Chains A and B, each alone.
Chain A
Amino acid sequence: MAWQRVASFSEIDVDGVLGVDVNGSPVALYRLSNEVFATSGICTHALALLSDGFVEDGRIECPLHQGQFDVRSGKALCAPVTEDLRTYAVKLEGDDVFIDMERPAASAPAVANAAPNCKAGDGVRNAEEGDQAGTRKIATMNVDPELSLTKRYVWPAEGLTRIPDWVYTDQTIYEREIERIFHGRTWNYVALECEVPKVGDFIRSNVGPTPVVVVRADDGSINVVENRCSHRAAEFCRELSGNVKEFVCPYHQWSYDLQGNLAGVPFRRGVNGKGGMPADFNNAQHGLRRLNVTTHRGVVFASYLDDMESFQNYLGPEVLNEFEATFDGRKPRLLGYYRHTLPGNWKLYHENLKDPYHATLLHTFLVTFGLLVAGNRSLMLADATGRHGVMASAKSERKSVSSDAKKEMRAYRDGMTLAEPRFMDFVEEFDSPWSVTMATIWPNLIIQREMNTLGLRQIIPTGPHEFIMKWTMFGFEGDDEEMTRHRLRQGNLMGPAGFLGLEDNEAIKFVQDGMQHVPGGQHLVKLDPAVAAGTSDSLISEASIRAMYRHWRAEMGL
């Protein structure tokens, strides 16, 4: 690419900024006196358009969080921005402004406090002019503003009690989540240790959408590597699980050891002295991408960052306590998997389990058979950051349902009984006041302790509108035959055909459906105003959802 005409000089106000769309990329053009400068049009901190910002003293101030950049050099000048803007070379020919997106601006003074060279006219600008000068919408560059390609990500003014639909439906937001959350400062669940008990045992897994292989190496360590050949990116491991001595990519037979090191490259030195890899090719630099790994009580987590805090710190004391109530030191034993797709945004699943309000209303099964009622002792816990949560309740006797509560819940029907009620029995086996806990471990794990049916649900997002859920159901070593069967019978509650599970999947699909055809929509999450965001002891609360979005917005810079 080379020089492209992007605007006419006269369109850009003096000391102003103009947003233009260049081959789909937002670019901001600034005019300081008779000079024009160009930078990337989106703030490096959050998804805000700089063309909505204000230019003053040669700086552009972002409209969202008031970060500032030097317009000549792109340099980030003050909090919260830390990353510089990309700059582009500009030239003027008559009234035409050209930029070259592959070339940065010629070395410009990056002086934070440099005053602009001069101003138009007499150099005095009155307040009224100043207000106008700074802003022109990027959409004015499009032939039809309604078709503007540039999207806006503005959180509703009401704050956390509203969630805009674009949080769940937008591709750009989704891609940013992969970078900032799943590949960011998080511990992602990948496996149970008991799935790879022996050297060479592996299973396929995911970190966010990214396929990985979890494998036990010769030294007994558990390794998590990307399932992507370092030669031509082939997803080399195709079996869901197995045992190998090494991994061999089927395409050109590159081989890797159990820690992901590149072991062999066929014809590395060519044939008959011709071809082959360059002489300086070094296997050590071409291993599989390896992730940081930690385990806790038999559960394996991975992170793209090497300087992660400890898993215990990551959970915080209260959520760690619930984690250790379920993983109480007994060794987990694999009972099998459920896998399903769910046509909804992945965050809706977290929200479903931070929404105790729905439990007695959607799941009429629970109420009909007296398992959960709105008056049950319960807690909706959020950790200090808001990212993790635990929905907990204690089973009550059926007679405790007050007639008031019954009236509220249309589902409650006296006299309905199960022909085989023992599948709802709760065998006390945990040191916990709760008979049911659902822990949402940010960003990709739900730990289900629904009485005695236990499962790890792994979220694998595949786009803004869909994710895959993999359920790893387990019991413990030492369970006798009857206990295992009890867990399996009780498993009828959960999974994609579970009495409760199928309803959650359907409800989440309905939510995604509801967002497809209503532009500019918002959700309402106002329940329980006494708790702005965080832990609540009421079931009729959305305070944990608000806490999650406080965290999400900070991580996403929104």
Chain B
Amino acid sequence: MSEPAVTRHSPPDGAPLDSQLAQALDEQRLSDWTEMFTDDALYVILSRENYDRGLPVGLIYCENKRMIHDRAFALMETSMFAPRYLRHIIANQVVVSVESNGTIKSRANYVVLQVLFDRPDATLHQVGVYYDVFRRVGGELKLAERRCVYDNLLVPNALCIPV
């Protein structure tokens, strides 16, 4: 895949919002997380296998903020899964391009660690790359696109909280 030349900004403009997103997920405040997206946001989690082969299927596939909202709502209100702690760790943020209207394309590596209550270990639940587009809405930076492309093709049992 060819990508535009990478230019470094320090600190990357997307970084503070990345941290807020990660924190909201870690604390399982999913409605706060939802609010960090633009109305037309795309949020998809897909395997490296599908991504590389141009296959569109995603573990989570949201075409707009309403679907992200429904996802957050259903996970909090209707879904049954074992309680767990999660840590989202983001690194190697790189701004790929900044467009004239202020839209930022960036990417970052991410790791999600998961702890279940009956085992001592934190397991590496997912490792991958965010391909992001950030945009300002009314002066506030929001996430307009996030493709979470994960490398560990075999998902350990179930993905209960977004990445």
Interface residues, chain A, with chain B CB atoms under 8 Å away? 240-241, 334-343, 362, 364-365, 368, 411, 416, 418-420, 423, 468, 473, 484-485, 488-489, 491-492, 495-497, 499, 501-503, 505-507, 509-510
B-chain residues with CB within 8 Å of residue A362 when the two chains form the complex: 80
* Contact across chains for A468 and B79 when beta carbons are under 8 A apart: no
11 contacts between A and B (CB under 8 A): A337-B57, A340-B157, A418-B70, A419-B66, A419-B67, A419-B70, A423-B70, A488-B61, A496-B157, A502-B160, A506-B160
Across the interface, name the chain A residue whose C-beta is closest to B61: A488
Interface string of B66-77 (1 = CB under 8 A from A): 110111011001
Known: A337-B49, A497-B45. A491 touches B58 (CB 8 A): yes
* Contact across chains for B57 and A473 when beta carbons are under 8 A apart: yes
* Contact across chains for A336 and B46 when beta carbons are under 8 A apart: yes
Across the interface, name the chain A residue whose C-beta is closest to B51: A336
With beta carbons under 8 angstroms apart, the residue of A337, A489, A499, A507 that contacts B63 is A489
Interface string of B125-163 (1 = CB under 8 A from A): 000000000000000000000000000011111111000
* Contact across chains for A337 and B55 when beta carbons are under 8 A apart: yes
B78 at interface, CB cutoff 8 A: yes
Across the interface, name the chain B residue whose C-beta is closest to A367: B78
Interface residues, chain B, with chain A CB atoms under 8 Å away? 45-47, 49-50, 53, 55-64, 66-67, 69-71, 73-74, 77-82, 153-160
Known: A362-B80, A420-B70, A502-B79. A335 touches B55 (CB 8 A): yes
A-chain residues with CB within 8 Å of residue B153 when the two chains form the complex: 339
Min CB–CB distance B76 → chain A (angstroms):
12
* Contact across chains for A338 and B63 when beta carbons are under 8 A apart: no
State A362–B59 Cα separation when bound (angstroms).
20
A-chain residues with CB within 8 Å of residue B60 when the two chains form the complex: 492, 497
B-chain residues with CB within 8 Å of residue A334 when the two chains form the complex: 55
With beta carbons under 8 angstroms apart, the residue of A339, A492, A505, A506 that contacts B47 is A339
* Contact across chains for A338 and B155 when beta carbons are under 8 A apart: yes
State A506–B55 Cα separation when bound (angstroms).
27
* Contact across chains for B158 and A506 when beta carbons are under 8 A apart: yes
* Contact across chains for A499 and B56 when beta carbons are under 8 A apart: no
A-chain residues with CB within 8 Å of residue B66 when the two chains form the complex: 419-420
* Contact across chains for A506 and B58 when beta carbons are under 8 A apart: no
* Contact across chains for B47 and A368 when beta carbons are under 8 A apart: no
* Contact across chains for A341 and B154 when beta carbons are under 8 A apart: yes
* Contact across chains for A506 and B59 when beta carbons are under 8 A apart: no
Most chain B CB within 10 A, of A423, A491, A492, is at A492
A-chain residues with CB within 8 Å of residue B78 when the two chains form the complex: 364-365, 368, 411, 499
With beta carbons under 8 angstroms apart, the residue of A338, A419, A492, A507 that contacts B80 is A507
State A509–B78 Cα separation when bound (angstroms).
19
B-chain residues with CB within 8 Å of residue A507 when the two chains form the complex: 80
5 smallest CB-CB distances across A and B, nearest first, come from A336-B57, A336-B55, A419-B66, A497-B159, A420-B66
Give me 13 other A-B pairs in contact (C-beta within 8 A), A341-B155, A489-B63, A491-B58 excluded. Answer: A335-B57, A336-B47, A337-B49, A338-B57, A338-B155, A420-B66, A488-B58, A492-B67, A497-B158, A502-B158, A503-B80, A506-B158, A507-B80
